[in-house]
Structure 1
Amino acid sequence: MTRKLTTLLLAATMLLGAVSASHAVDFKIKGVWNMNFEYGSGGNFTERGRSVNGNKAAHVTGWGRYGEDQFEAKSRVRLQLDAVASESLSGTVYFEIGGVTWGRSSKGGALGADGSNVVKIKHSYLDWVVPQTNVKVRMGIQRVFLPDFTTEASQAFDADVAGIVASAPINDNLSLSAFWVRPYNDNWAGDTQSPQNYLDNFDIFGLSAPVRLDGVNVTPWAMLGMFGSNTFRKGDDFYGKNSTGAGALGLAPAVYALKDSKVGRQLADAYSTVLWAGITGEVVKFDPFRVAASFNYGAVDTGVEALNRKGWYSALLAEYKLDWGTPGIYGWYSSGDDDNIKNGSERMPNVEANNESTNAMSSFGTLGTWTLGRDTLIGSTFAGTWGVGARVKDVSFFDKLKQTFHVNILGGTNSPSMAKYIKGAKGVDGHTSFTPDTGTGSADFNSANYYGLYLTSQDYAAEFGVTTTYQIYDNLRMLVEANYIALWLDQSRGVWGGYTATDGSRVGGNSTTDAWNVNVSFIYKF
């Protein structure tokens, strides 16, 4: 880390020298320091935050995501350097150091602080305006996301990705924004069936049209993507549990019981298509009363029905701003898998949703915090769930002190029959199903819902959270989060309960424990 940081500072010094000499470019620097201290327990988690649904051998004491302990201390630094030639031209590079887990050598936090792989480029892009127009263009590695006036965090697409974004006002009420991004390309190593880098790109094209009227804001949007048959391939597995990205991206279908079948190993089409469309809006005409709503739809077509995926999500929010805070109520619903494993998945696909935004409805159950605090107990998005909740936002009775409280009741929208496939009690047409959990750590429950729990319509949870922010100085604030999630999974034989395996042995049920965490962050931003 020392060598990399020295190189980084040397490069910045050379750039500053060049700028000072030419007097043609203004050099600006921004940054954020984040120090996080956290204690949490429960939930029975394994790596990447995914639940094991009772897999005791894989359980790590405490949270367990990325091998975390009950108590963790972490830090992260982000430095942004802007080279501004004019209002029409600038370049930005955004470095990230960390997150560093204190004491862990692989994260640069052990004695001597000589760990590697902790300094990276988060963003690197060029901003320019097309001459004689109002068209703004951003090219390079950047954050690209879709709008959502309810959750404030897209349930379909929010990612750091390489691409081009162009935007322009049409008139006082309408503007357009279009983008092309390339999440994956040239990563396939090749084999005897297809050469290296063949049919392994993933491209997404998007368009949004924000409309601003008197007291009403509405943004319709659409995205079209395509990925090759080798894009997510790993060995002989083209699109299943062991693929390199489909599960993580929320594009994988219901292959839970088909992972070893022929249909689970190949795609019918050279390129699969992905389509999303949505609309989100808010009514602020009756300020301080505000109403917001969102609707998203997404579908993946591979040419093989069992590998397809389609679904939708909607949300509604109503809130009223008072002098001391903003109380509100909200709800969401997202489609879930039906009981037919052969027709693909009915959960809405997504691409790295909630990556850099904060889900205003859930700080612990989903990716709801941009700090280093733990989250994603239920999942990275609301896919396959429903919920209702209430919150009081930005409560302030004292100077420099604000608090937000929220309570959610939620459940799954997936068919309870899917639990039989996931826990290994049922297969399909002789194909190998998931390995039953025998306490040896061999169960394959994780791929059912990457980054979280797979909840059926007979499973429920309650989430309680409070976030407190104290502004110590103008540039330094302390953020304290406390969260608790109570889980009620159906332990009947037809859902997550025990069953008799094909060899006549008795396999125990699958359950999770309640989870909680408390974390304190010190955030210095300049």
Structure 2
Amino acid sequence: MKRFTLALVLAMVFGCVAIASAATEVKMTGDARIHGTFFAKQNYTGWNTNANRTMDEFAIWQRFRLRTDFIANEGLKFRFGIRANNTPWGNGTYTVDNPAVAIDVYQAYLQFKWPGTDVEFSIGMQDWGLPISSEALMNGNPVFGGSRSAAAIVTIPVAEQFKIIAGYTRLLDTNRDMDPTTTQVPDEFDAFVLALPITLDGFKATPWGMMAVAGRNANYATGAGNAGATLASNLFSAGTALAPAGLSNAQNVFWWVGGSFAVTALDPFKFYADVIYGTGNNSDRGKSKRGGFWFDVAAEYTGLDILTPQLTFWWSTGEDSSTRNGSERMPTVMGYWGPSTSFLFDSSQAYTRGYMGVNPVGSWGLVFSLNKISFIQDLTHRLTFTYARGTNSSVALRNARALWGNGNYVQMGRDLTQNEYVVAINFDHQYNIYENLAAIVEAGWSHGDFENSVWTRRVANMAKNGDAFKVAFGLQYRF
């Protein structure tokens, strides 16, 4: 039955392509990845986030994504994307002789221009993110970036140098269209976005803002970004769990304002910066408030043929010693920020399951990278060094762990105190066998120093008994 269901799904997709091709242009793109990963001491312990299960050190992972564009004309198209998501051999989809069906839709959106204008609408499940100064260097905005959601976005060109981008997204609707009681249940999490990109010769600035309305009964336990993180740990304060537990308001407002800046007038020297302030739950109990500040600055030199040096610094506010006055960390939704594909962050590594998952919010640090190293045609390398230290009070993280449990709100190695640091080096390589087929090797090492009094002696000592180390090798095919 499972095989029949899988065959039916594929038949429907390719059947739609055949029918649509008579009236529209159909283009397909995608990628396939197969790689083996040896990863010792994940989470700096070799255990899961709750420190009650042991992780296997070696697994072979496989992922496939197919994106189909149905193009009626230059101003109208529909994108449909399906995937068999990242799963290890021997499990789920890749189980011998009895594979589980694991194809899901991850993109489905309509994109069109209003007739006679350049005003563009993009409506549906789509990849989007808040502005960041350099996607190539930083990967994504730390509040929401490098991800996707169901959204309606309109782009209005005002002049050659200026446009308006506005959008609405429904991030959660836990009970769908039918609440479980005869009274309305606040189970939605909605956000409204405005960005104003200004582009001049050698300079780009994008002021932006986002406001979200968070219903008390939405399921914020869903995963979000960094290893073990959830929307609850990203949005709310640890004090939300203090008696009386939970939120008093049915709905609370969160808002963020920021600016992204890129200076390329001094090319080949290029400079970038991002500044963000975010806050939420301000009309709720004092223990449930959360608000903080975050910024990054970066520079790169692109004038060399054989490599591109890059340097990034970031800093953000951290928790003070009181849990009852709320949180001093900036709230986030789902961000994949990470400079120069650092091993510490989930930042578009070629192979997933191959990073340490450090939270850039509540920490500061620097990243130095020699990127795009190339001495031989079709062979490139990247060498990146990262240092990160926390800005959180030890007392705050110890209290948060006691209130929420191990790994449920804060986690050793992901959330750092002022007395803790982590360092990492990754050395990555890519050889293009063909134009669309690459052999990729990723290697990473990380060492952390953590407080026994915050994470318990058992967990902290496990981290001292050897460092985290990863080697991954595989193939990536793009078409």
**TM-score if structure 1 supplies the norm length?**
0.82
Question: For residues 376 and 246 of structure 1, what CA distance do their matches in structure 2 show?
Answer: 20
Q: State the match for 2:96 in structure 1.
A: 111
Q: Offset of 1:285 from its aligned partner?
A: 0.8
Q: State the match for 2:235 in structure 1.
A: 251
Alignment of 1:312-461 (within 5 A): 312-321=293-302, 322-354=304-336, 359-379=338-358, 381-422=359-400, 424=402, 433=403, 444-449=405-410, 453-461=414-422
Structure 2: 5+ residue stretches without partners: 222-228
Alignment of 1:193-204 (within 5 A): 195=182, 198-204=185-191
Question: For residues 478 and 429 of structure 2, what CA distance do their matches in structure 1 show?
Answer: 17
- Secondary structure in structure 1 of the residue aligned to 2:159: coil
Q: State the match for 1:7 in structure 2.
A: 8
Maintained 8 Å contact 1:27/1:84 = yes
Maintained 8 Å contact 2:401/2:409 = no
Question: For residues 260 and 224 of structure 1, what CA distance do their matches in structure 2 show?
Answer: 26
Alignment of 1:95-494 (within 5 A): 95-104=82-91, 107-116=92-101, 118-149=102-133, 151-158=138-145, 159-187=147-175, 195=182, 198-232=185-219, 246-247=231-232, 250-255=234-239, 259=241, 261-262=243-244, 264-265=245-246, 267-301=247-281, 303-321=284-302, 322-354=304-336, 359-379=338-358, 381-422=359-400, 424=402, 433=403, 444-449=405-410, 453-491=414-452, 493=453
Instruction: Check 1:137–1:525 CA distance in 2 against 1; reply closer, same or farther (3 A cut).
Output: same
Maintained 8 Å contact 2:412/2:455 = no
- Secondary structure in structure 2 of the residue aligned to 1:407: strand
Q: State the match for 2:472 in structure 1.
A: 519
Question: For residues 134 and 418 of structure 1, what CA distance do their matches in structure 2 show?
Answer: 50
- Secondary structure in structure 1 of the residue aligned to 2:235: coil
Maintained 8 Å contact 2:342/2:385 = no
- Secondary structure in structure 2 of the residue aligned to 1:522: strand
Instruction: Check 1:516–1:509 CA distance in 2 against 1; reply closer, same or farther (3 A cut).
Output: closer
Q: Offset of 1:310 from its aligned partner?
A: 0.7
Does 1:31 pair with 2:30? yes
Maintained 8 Å contact 2:451/2:460 = no
Maintained 8 Å contact 2:231/2:334 = no
Moved more, 509-518 or 384-393: 509-518
Question: For residues 467 and 197 of structure 1, what CA distance do their matches in structure 2 show?
Answer: 52
Maintained 8 Å contact 2:401/2:407 = no
Instruction: Check 1:362–1:91 CA distance in 2 against 1; reply closer, same or farther (3 A cut).
Output: closer
- Secondary structure in structure 2 of the residue aligned to 1:247: helix
Q: State the match for 1:503 in structure 2.
A: none
Q: Offset of 1:8 from its aligned partner?
A: 2.4
Question: For residues 395 and 174 of structure 2, what CA distance do their matches in structure 1 show?
Answer: 39
Tell me the alpha carbon deviations over residues 332-352 of structure 1, each in whole angstroms, 9 at most, x when there is no partner.
101111111001111111111
The structure whose residues are more often strand, as a share, is: 2
Instruction: Check 1:78–1:496 CA distance in 2 against 1; reply closer, same or farther (3 A cut).
Output: closer
Q: Offset of 1:449 from its aligned partner?
A: 2.7
Maintained 8 Å contact 1:368/1:375 = no
Q: Offset of 1:420 from its aligned partner?
A: 3.5
- Secondary structure in structure 2 of the residue aligned to 1:34: strand
Question: For residues 509 and 323 of structure 1, what CA distance do their matches in structure 2 show?
Answer: 44
Moved more, 474-483 or 10-19: 10-19
- The two structures, once aligned, show a CA RMSD in angstroms of 2.4
Maintained 8 Å contact 2:80/2:108 = yes
Instruction: Check 1:423–1:247 CA distance in 2 against 1; reply closer, same or farther (3 A cut).
Output: closer
- Secondary structure in structure 2 of the residue aligned to 1:342: coil
- Secondary structure in structure 1 of the residue aligned to 2:241: coil
Question: For residues 294 and 252 of structure 1, what CA distance do their matches in structure 2 show?
Answer: 23
Question: For residues 142 and 375 of structure 2, what CA distance do their matches in structure 1 show?
Answer: 33
The structure whose residues are more often helix, as a share, is: 2
Aligned residues: 460
Alignment of 1:61-76 (within 5 A): 64=55, 69-76=56-63
Q: Which amino acid aligns with 1:32?
A: D
Q: Offset of 1:221 from its aligned partner?
A: 0.9
Q: Offset of 1:215 from its aligned partner?
A: 0.5
- Segments of 4+ in structure 1 off by > 3 A? 188-191, 194-197, 495-498, 507-511
Question: For residues 242 and 11 of structure 2, what CA distance do their matches in structure 1 show?
Answer: 52
Question: For residues 364 and 509 of structure 1, what CA distance do their matches in structure 2 show?
Answer: 21
Question: For residues 221 and 353 of structure 1, what CA distance do their matches in structure 2 show?
Answer: 16
Maintained 8 Å contact 1:4/1:119 = no
Instruction: Check 1:340–1:110 CA distance in 2 against 1; reply closer, same or farther (3 A cut).
Output: same
Maintained 8 Å contact 1:291/1:318 = yes
Q: State the match for 1:44 in structure 2.
A: 45
Maintained 8 Å contact 2:238/2:400 = no
Question: For residues 451 and 225 of structure 1, what CA distance do their matches in structure 2 show?
Answer: 29
- Secondary structure in structure 1 of the residue aligned to 2:394: coil
Tell me the alpha carbon deviations over residues 250-305 of structure 1, each in whole angstroms, 9 at most, x when there is no partner.
112123xx63621x23x222211010111111111111111111111111125111
Tell me the alpha carbon deviations over residues 119-155 of structure 1, each in whole angstroms, 9 at most, x when there is no partner.
0001001111112221100111111201222523110
Maintained 8 Å contact 1:185/1:197 = no
- Secondary structure in structure 2 of the residue aligned to 1:8: helix
Structure 1: 5+ residue stretches without partners: 235-243, 425-432, 435-443, 499-506
- Identity %, equivalent residues: 25
Tell me the alpha carbon deviations over residues 26-45 of structure 1, each in whole angstroms, 9 at most, x when there is no partner.
11111111112100101125
